[in-house]
Structure 1
Amino acid sequence: MSAANAPLISVKHPLPWQHYNLSTMGEEVRLWLDANLIEMIIAIAAGTLIYLALRVARRQLRRLKNRPGDEHSFATVIGRTFTRTTHLFMILVSARLVAGYADPPALLLTTIRFLFTVVAVFQVAIWVREFILALIERRTGENGHAETLSNAMGIIRILVTVALFAIATVVVLDNLGVNVTGLVAGLGIGGIAIGLAAQGIFSDLFAALSIIFDKPFRRGETIQYDQTIATVERIGLKSTRLRALTGEKKIISNTNLLQKEISSFQELDHRRIALPFGVIYQTPSEVLETLPALLEEIVNAHGGRFVRSGITAYGASSIDFECLFDVYEPDFAHVAKTRHRIAVEILKRFADEKIEFAYPTQTSFTAAPDGRMIYPYPDLDGAYVTSIKSD
């Protein structure tokens, strides 16, 4: 047979029991029972006690798993893992521990060892699978991400199960004397081909898992990416759905979203408000000096925390001021109301103090007949009269 037509699985050496026939096996069993009856009874009793002890231990671990108020502790993960122990595994553990005491025939001892190896490999796969899934749920459930986990748990369970049981199958076949080199190579090539074909899907899937474990945001949070501010409605396996402040629905792939700079407003305990305004140039310097203290009084009396205030620039028609203050409230609607109250109070106090807000103005000057700049209106004494000569 050519190398191209070689089977993926081949037997390296004959199995131990292939040397036996039924007559030989029956004779060995009869002679063993005649010579070791007492030892066999003791071994069965000891195996039964071991099995019962394993059942009691599993029952205690189940209580650890179901302990109220401690759903996300590491002890609960351990309890959940080992409660998946099967009865067949406990029976074979008991048989394997006492098999050598009664000096059984080689075929029986080989069979017990073989069955124990097969069942133990798959039992370890079940334990590891349950341990991984429990750790994932513990990791995501501690901080209220159970709703996000439900979207991805199905695919995670499938991926973990397929990977672990494929490894377990290869290990069992290898213990059976099967040459699994070709099988492993075939699985590797097939996995690479599937990975390349579904590269985009797997990229978004692993991005979704990254969102679940790293927790940059969660459902219900308001976030900003690029120029978009939106609330997260659902985190899927391929895309995340958001609701923009303007009402439209935004859908973006998980990979694309994680590549952006994301700002979250969820844990924002305060917002800083900048309130710019301008006063006229005719405002006395003494009043300008007292303005910061007046603004601080207004801000602190109406729910804000004053930061600073002062002149920022000399404008074309105003002396520009800025008032900075913090509002310690995450709800932006409350922040907007506080800003409104402070702005209205500033307007009232400025009116009481005869402080005038500036607005765009322009003053024109006219040249007298002798070339001097004069105000464009005749003075009261009649010294100058503006004449406009038209062509």
Structure 2
Amino acid sequence: MADPVGRAGARIDAITGETWRWLTQDSGEALFGLGLGAALFVGLQLVLIGARRVFPAASEGWRGLMRALVDRTLQLFLFAVALDAATNVAAPPGPLLRLVDNLFIVAIAVQGALWLRELVLGMIRHRAVADAEDHSALGSAMGVITVLVNVVVWLLAGILILDNLGVNVTALVAGLGVGGIAIGLAAQGIFSDLFAALSILFDRPFRVGDIITYGNSTGTVEKIGMKTTRIRSLSGEQLVMANTKLLDQQVANLRRIEERRVVMNFGIIYQTPPDVLESLPGHLQAIVDAQPQCRFDRAAFTGFGASSLDFELIFFVTVPDLAAMVAARQAVGFAIVRRFAELRVDFAYPTQTSFTAAPDGRLIDPTDLKGRAPAGG
């Protein structure tokens, strides 16, 4: 087998020799191709300068993303594009044409990797910065994401370059697939918590400072890390939950409540007159409507209880503040007590009446004073 250095030298000699003969024997076509390539390179430079003016360095949003893509455009890529266009018009010798094609493939792969990397990271960074409040967790997440994106993008670029240069990449791709599966299985728990953290940071089911309820616990989110989330419970202790376990269960975000629903159940005595019973829903609605930041929903008779006629009152407090809801519920409750006192409606409480049987089997109502025998009789 020939020495690789010797083969490379022979190829360089062939390229230089063929190129020199082409330049000397067909100089007109060569000069036309070189002139076209130079003009195209200058034109691409002018387009790049114009793009920088259209998208200033201080741009934000999609304009800032476009500016980042412009800044990541390589001079090598522009040169390769211009040179490839020139060789398509002119007719250079085979060795030179293959060299230009290889240079164009390498430039396209490298430039595509840079653009794809900047596009993915820019979109993720824009989404995260727009919503994120925990900058330390965001910095850690962006560091991990940057590493993952770099590995994937440059690995794809390297495989594309090798494949187009004639290298058999089948075994390499198969080896990378097997190695990736092995690494994924070995670090399954780490990757699960990592992607759960990324889901929390970018999907935003809750943020730092939100009050959440999960399982039987309620607390305020203090820190979102790459593996765990720290929550300060209502009783004062700090709870540390793995991100994967936290997202595996239902999480209620109390901070995102727009209005609070209040349900009040009560019962009144069976001796209440029917006309008073029928008027109670209207009185309850008037009580709720008189309270600020309250919206009446319904008030209705719900059933016959063991010791009471049962009613249900439902209304909404139109602000999310918990203290406002507690104050409104208290005000409505006191107003109900005051109004029922004016209507002479008594609240029911558990009672039981015992009846005594007379010698003849007749039931005697203990509340019937007229039917009682006089004392000492």
TM over 0.5: yes
Partner of 1:341: 331
Q: 1:115 aligns with which of 93, 103, 120?
A: 103
Give the CA deviation at 1:86. 0.9
Question: Do structure 1's residue 48 and structure 2's residue 38 form an aligned pair?
Answer: yes
Partner of 2:243: 254
Determine the C-alpha separation between the residues in 2 that align with 1:341 and 1:199.
Answer: 54
Give the CA deviation at 1:214. 4.4
Deviations 1:80-133 (A, max 9, x none): 334311112212222332246665555444433322322221111111222222
What is the SS of the residue equivalent to 2:249? coil
Question: Do structure 1's residue 384 and structure 2's residue 374 form an aligned pair?
Answer: yes
CA contact (8 A) 1:93 1:116 kept: yes
Q: 1:273 aligns with which of 255, 262, 280?
A: 262
Would you say how many aligned residue pairs link Structure 1 and Structure 2? 373
Give the CA deviation at 1:301. 0.3
Deviations 1:289-342 (A, max 9, x none): 221111111111013222222333333433332211121112222111111111
Q: For residues 20 and 204 of structure 1, do their structure 2 counterparts lie closer, same or farther at Cα, with a shift above 3 Å needed? A: closer
CA contact (8 A) 1:223 1:230 kept: yes
Letter in 2 for 1:346: I
Q: 1:71 aligns with which of 49, 60, 64?
A: 60
Determine the C-alpha separation between the residues in 1 that align with 2:165 and 2:216.
Answer: 61
Determine the C-alpha separation between the residues in 1 that align with 2:313 and 2:295.
Answer: 11
What is the SS of the residue equivalent to 2:45? helix
Question: Do structure 1's residue 312 and structure 2's residue 317 form an aligned pair?
Answer: no
Question: Do structure 1's residue 299 and structure 2's residue 299 form an aligned pair?
Answer: no
Q: 1:196 aligns with which of 176, 185, 192?
A: 185
Partner of 2:314: 324
Letter in 2 for 1:169: G
Partner of 2:77: 89
Q: 1:153 aligns with which of 122, 142, 153?
A: 142
Report which stretch shifted further, 339-348 or 89-98.
Answer: 89-98
Determine the C-alpha separation between the residues in 2 that align with 1:203 and 1:381.
Answer: 80
CA contact (8 A) 1:17 1:107 kept: no
TM-score (norm 2): 0.81
Partner of 1:354: 344
Letter in 2 for 1:127: W
What is the SS of the residue equivalent to 2:271? coil
Give the CA deviation at 1:270. 2.0
Determine the C-alpha separation between the residues in 2 that align with 1:132 and 1:261.
Answer: 30
Q: For residues 383 and 169 of structure 1, do their structure 2 counterparts lie closer, same or farther at Cα, with a shift above 3 Å needed? A: closer
Letter in 1 for 2:166: G
Partner of 1:129: 117
Report which stretch shifted further, 362-371 or 46-55.
Answer: 362-371
Give the CA deviation at 1:197. 0.3
Give the CA deviation at 1:77. 4.0
Alignment RMSD: 3.8
Report which stretch shifted further, 58-67 or 148-157.
Answer: 58-67
Give the CA deviation at 1:204. 2.4
Determine the C-alpha separation between the residues in 1 that align with 2:376 and 2:144.
Answer: 89
CA contact (8 A) 2:22 2:30 kept: no
Determine the C-alpha separation between the residues in 2 that align with 1:374 and 1:21.
Answer: 124
What is the SS of the residue equivalent to 1:178? coil
Structure 2: 5+ residue runs without aligned partners?
Answer: none
Report which stretch shifted further, 358-367 or 323-332.
Answer: 358-367
Letter in 2 for 1:81: L
Deviations 1:45-98 (A, max 9, x none): 443332232223233434555487x7334x654453343111122122223322
CA contact (8 A) 1:64 1:76 kept: no
Give the CA deviation at 1:15. 11
Report which stretch shifted further, 339-348 or 180-189.
Answer: 180-189
User: Percent identity of the aligned residues?
Assistant: 42
What is the SS of the residue equivalent to 1:85? coil
Letter in 1 for 2:342: D
Partner of 2:217: 228
Determine the C-alpha separation between the residues in 1 that align with 2:51 and 2:234.
Answer: 50
Partner of 2:252: 263
Letter in 2 for 1:242: I
Give the CA deviation at 1:370. 6.5
Question: Do structure 1's residue 288 and structure 2's residue 293 form an aligned pair?
Answer: no
Report which stretch shifted further, 40-49 or 340-349.
Answer: 40-49
Structure 1: 5+ residue runs without aligned partners?
Answer: 1-9
Determine the C-alpha separation between the residues in 2 that align with 1:16 and 1:176.
Answer: 16
Report which stretch shifted further, 122-131 or 353-362.
Answer: 353-362
Letter in 2 for 1:71: E
What is the SS of the residue equivalent to 2:61? coil
CA contact (8 A) 1:273 1:325 kept: yes
Give the CA deviation at 1:27. 5.7
